[in-house]
Amino acid sequence: MNSQMTPGLAPARLSNDELDANFADLHAPLDPHEAAVAADRCYFCHDAPCMTACPTDIDIPLFIRQIATGTPDAAAKTILEQNILGGMCARVCPTEDLCEQVCVREVSEGKPVEIGRLQRYATDSLMAKDIHPFERADTTGKTIAVVGAGPAGLSCAHRLAMLGHDVTLYDARSKAGGLNEFGIAAYKSTDDFAAKEVNWLLSIGGITLVTDAALGDGITLDALAGDNDAVFLAVGLGGVNALGVEGDALAAVSDAVDFIETLRQTSDLATLPIGRNVVVIGGGMTAVDAAVQSSLLGAQNVTIAYRRGRDAMGASRYEQDLAASHGVKLLFNVQPAKVGGTDTATDITLEYTAETDGKLVGTGEMVTIPADQVFCAIGQTLTMDGGLAIAGRKIEVSDTGRTSRDGVWAGGDCASGGDDLTVTAVAEGRDAAMDIHATLMGGA
């Protein structure tokens, strides 16, 4: 029987009960009384800072007051009108960097109103009743292709369908949801929530989902543009940056996104092999998700190695502390120099870094730590090439998602601008849909 001490890669380092407990909801849902108490803390600020901080501009004081007055379904509608994936955003939004960061109670007492958990309370309440609160407008006869069924694509498709357009929603995978389904930590989306939310979203009607259809593999941008009145691209970032150091091709050196995806899709956590000594290279949310989940699977030692200082980390302080609370060691100002091992990784050598004149350089000082598994979380890249103008390695878009090609909009991680958050993707999808609608319907 395996344990946390078992060398190399090994499955079932923990008992099934421990695994179940580890991968349960990160934050338990609020019960009605907790929600009432939490909601009562909201001051119903004038022109509230939290609203301004929300990328989807949810009327937060209003929905919290609706919870406080015992109408969580009305609260949910307030949320979903602005953000159709309000349920998932309630689970994955870095609220500590957005609405809760600017909550006046955070400013005054260091303890914000629990906006994220309240949002989940409201959206869960509505979705538990299987109510879809929106209806489609009369059909417009316009057809629109949406490529990519992640947060941006789903948001765009829903808004377009609601406005009366007919949408075909393509996704390269066999399942819709994008990063909601494949890319975030399992304890943030338990009980198959991402898939349930997609089904609930599609229940508005007017959206035809076509899976296993990737651009360049069955469909082309030219064909879609020719056959439809508009195209919205939300293909995400399909490629990953390579480590580019000696030993990066060894077994047990892999991409963090693949690890997270496998973990999300497995039906039995006890079958997943995990190293005894895991090192994650990177400093974003993906790095934290991979590291924490390695620890939860039973890895004995987990280290995040990040090339810059704490403040430059993409993952919020809250996420950093979450990792630390799960025993993850955070190593700053180090860059990978070499992965050691013959067939499979056994250790990793890191070089300390320093910043001179704004440039990061190795100091020459090395440190080698055991690593029987290395995950790379050093960024993802755009893989599609549709002849569109590019800005900063992403598809160049306007404020409303227009690309360099007429009739083609883009949003989400594949498009320029935004913070690569679920919530910004939702906002971009929604806003592009409104612009597409305005464009197709003219002055009407």
Partner 1 sequence: MADLTTDFLGIKSPNPFWLASAPPTDKEYNVRRAFEAGWGGVVWKTLGSEGPPIVNVNGPRYGVIHGADRRVLGLNNIELITDRPLEINLEEITRVKKDYPDRALIVSIMVPCEEEAWKAILPKVEATGADGIELNFGCPHGMSERGMGAAVGQVPEYIEMVTRWCKQYYSKPVIVKLTPNITDIRAPAAAAKRGGADAVSLINTINSIVSVDLDSMSPEPSVGGKGTHGGYCGPAVKPIAMSMVSEIARAPATAGLPISGIGGVTTWRDAAEFITLGCGNVQVCTAAMTYGFKVVQEMISGLSDWMDQKGHTSIQDFMGAAVPNTTDWQYLDLNYVSKASISQEDCISCGRCYAACEDTSHQAIDMSEDRVFTVKDDECVACNLCVEVCPIEGCITMVEQEAGTVDPRTGKTVSSEYANWTTHPNNPSAVPAE
For binding to partner 1 (CB under 8 A), which residues are involved? Answer: 33, 36-37, 40, 43-49, 104-105, 107-108
Of 68 and 339, nearer to partner 1 (C-beta) is 68
DSSP 212-238: S-EETBEE-HHHHHHHSSEEEE-----
Of 35 and 233, nearer to partner 1 (C-beta) is 35
Of 44 and 131, nearer to partner 1 (C-beta) is 44
Nearest approach, Cβ of 31 to partner 1 (angstroms)? 13
Nearest approach, Cβ of 57 to partner 1 (angstroms)? 17
- Per DSSP, 312 falls in state G
- Three-class secondary structure of residue 382 per DSSP: coil
From the list 13, 9, 30, the residue with the least C-alpha distance to 22 is 13
Nearest approach, Cβ of 109 to partner 1 (angstroms)? 9
Nearest approach, Cβ of 40 to partner 1 (angstroms)? 4
CA 15 – CA 36 distance, rounded (Å): 37
Nearest approach, Cβ of 423 to partner 1 (angstroms)? 23
- Per DSSP, 293 falls in state H
Nearest approach, Cβ of 35 to partner 1 (angstroms)? 12
Of 59 and 428, nearer to partner 1 (C-beta) is 59
331: its two tokens: 């190593």
- Three-class secondary structure of residue 251 per DSSP: strand
Of 40 and 268, nearer to partner 1 (C-beta) is 40
The gap between the terminal CA atoms of the chain, to the nearest Å, is 69
The total number of residues shown for the chain amounts to: 444
Query: Where is 209: in which H helix or E strand?
Result: strand 207-210
- Decide: 430 and 419 in contact? Cβ < 8 Å: no
- Three-class secondary structure of residue 144 per DSSP: strand
Nearest approach, Cβ of 81 to partner 1 (angstroms)? 22
CA 185 – CA 257 distance, rounded (Å): 10
Of 61 and 314, nearer to partner 1 (C-beta) is 61
Neighbours of 194 (CB within 10 A): 26
Helices (H), 220-340: 221-227, 256-265, 285-297, 317-325
Query: Where is 360: in which H helix or E strand?
Result: strand 359-370
CA 98 – CA 287 distance, rounded (Å): 20
Of 40 and 222, nearer to partner 1 (C-beta) is 40
Of 35 and 330, nearer to partner 1 (C-beta) is 35
Nearest approach, Cβ of 65 to partner 1 (angstroms)? 13
Nearest approach, Cβ of 9 to partner 1 (angstroms)? 50
CA 93 – CA 101 distance, rounded (Å): 12
Dihedral of the alpha carbons of 418, 378, 422, 208, in degrees to the nearest 10 = 110
CA 43 – CA 292 distance, rounded (Å): 35
Query: Where is 19: in which H helix or E strand?
Result: helix 16-22
- Per DSSP, 69 falls in state T
Nearest approach, Cβ of 291 to partner 1 (angstroms)? 36
- Three-class secondary structure of residue 30 per DSSP: coil
- Decide: 439 and 231 in contact? Cβ < 8 Å: no
